[in-house]
Structure formats: C-alpha cells, structure tokens
Structure 1
C-alpha cells in the first residue's frame, strides 16, 4: 500500500475508533438529564423513561455500534456493510441526524434539551470532519452521504424505540 493509501486507511481507522468514546460522552449527557426533562415536559412529550431504562437502552445501542466499529477497524463487514460504508452511514448518517434533531428540539423548546451541548460541541463537528474526509478522499459521494443522513433521520427513532422496549423488559 502506498504512503497516501496507508494515511487514508489510518485516518479512517481514527474516525472509527473515535466514535465509541464520543458517542459515550454524548449519551452520558442525555442519561443524566433525560428523566427530569421528560417529567418537566409531560404536557408536550407523552412519553416517560427512567434514567435506568435510558441508560440500559443507550448501552444496548452503544454495544452494537461499538461492535460495528471494532469490525470496521479490523476491515470486516458489519450488518453487510464494508468499513467505509459503515462509517459513512453511522457518523454523517445516523449521528449527524441525531445531533441535528437535538438542535431542532432546542429551537422548539427554546431551552436546554438532553444531548444538545455535546451535539453542538462534539457530534456535529466530528460528523462534518468525517464527512469532509470521506468526500475529499473519494470514499463516498455527497449524494450518498445525503442519502445516509436521510435514512439516519428515519431509522434513529425506531432504533431508539426498540432499544427502549428491550431496556424496559430488562429493567423490570
């Protein structure tokens, strides 16, 4: 592999291994603030989750995403996706969509919402830097990233709901 090819590969691996700790930091913010936020906004959000249920749900999603990162780092497929596809779908796709969702919630409530601080300070910059690298190095097209982002916006809700269902079963 040429020097530039090794650079690209090591940079992709860096983006892959950064995901689990950055996602963990984001969800720690959510874990500690989600239950009080939901209680305060019962009039708008007719949904309740305890801190423990949210922590378990997050843990399930984090474990699955981290297994995917481990597989991608080892240059193996995960859920049928090649490492670059997995990174492209996970970061500029699902995580960027999630972060923008937090910002939109902040604009709606005109007040703090769980996860908005780490979305602005960590997830959005990480997603844009990752997307920029992938595009500049010809790993993915802008059209493909927009597609992943739109899919990410749609699938994050059902994935979170499924994780919450499992967590409520586990916690009970």
Structure 2
C-alpha cells in the first residue's frame, strides 16, 4: 500500500475530536492498510488516523505479540481497572518521552473493517497502547498526561 507522512504537533488535527466512521467500504480497508504500512515504516506500535491528517475514529495497534494487528474503529472503553505507570512516546512528538499512568486492563467495544462489533480485552502494554491511540481520536495528546518527562538516553538504558 502506501506510507503516509506523520502529522507532527502542533497540527490542529491532533487536538480535535474525530468523526465517527459511518461507511465501511474498500476505501476504509485501503486506509487501514496504509496506516499499518505507515506505522511499521516509522517503527510505531500504534497509529491513529489524525496522525496522518484524517480526523476519523480509526486507529491500529500492533505490539508484535500473539494479538496481531488490532483495528479500532469508533472504539469505546466499556470497562477498565487497575493502574500502571510507564514510559510513552508518540510518532507525532519525535524524541519526546514521558511517564504516563493508565488503566492496566481495558475492555473495548469497537468495529472491524466490515462494520461488525468486536469486543477486545487487553492488559499491560497492549492496554496502554490502545488507550494512547484512543486518546488521539478524542484529541487528547499524551503530553497532557505526562507525570514526568524522560530523557531518551534514560529510556534506552531502562530498556536494556
């Protein structure tokens, strides 16, 4: 498919509430494939449509585990519990990292590319990535939740 340029802060599209998807067609499928290619090209674990300039409630997450690629279309968190705090970064903020607290477990109601409802349960890092991407769809940036910024060198030594 096609790799799209990443929209960087302070682009307006990053801080606006995205529109719900109402048409589930080939264009949506192509967009999801382009988003996946873009996420992989930029070495991300998630990507939201506003990050490529499209203000729609579409995001993908792939943390390279047994869950594979998760597509989130018009997602809603229906249950969350626990708390985790850990480092986050964002493709729209290259080189910027911070400690963010989020729910440790989420249950999400979403649609797949064909318009069918899916329920996704996630915990740990996957839950963190899903919440981060869902925030993008509401115009919420991770920088508004950072408790402490992390120097990139400290992040690399923590990862081993």
* TM-score w.r.t. length of structure 1: 0.25
Structure with higher RCO (Cα < 8 A, 6+ apart): 1
Q: Which has the larger radius of gyration?
A: 1
Q: State TM-score, norm by structure 2.
A: 0.27
The structure with the largest strand share of the pair is 2
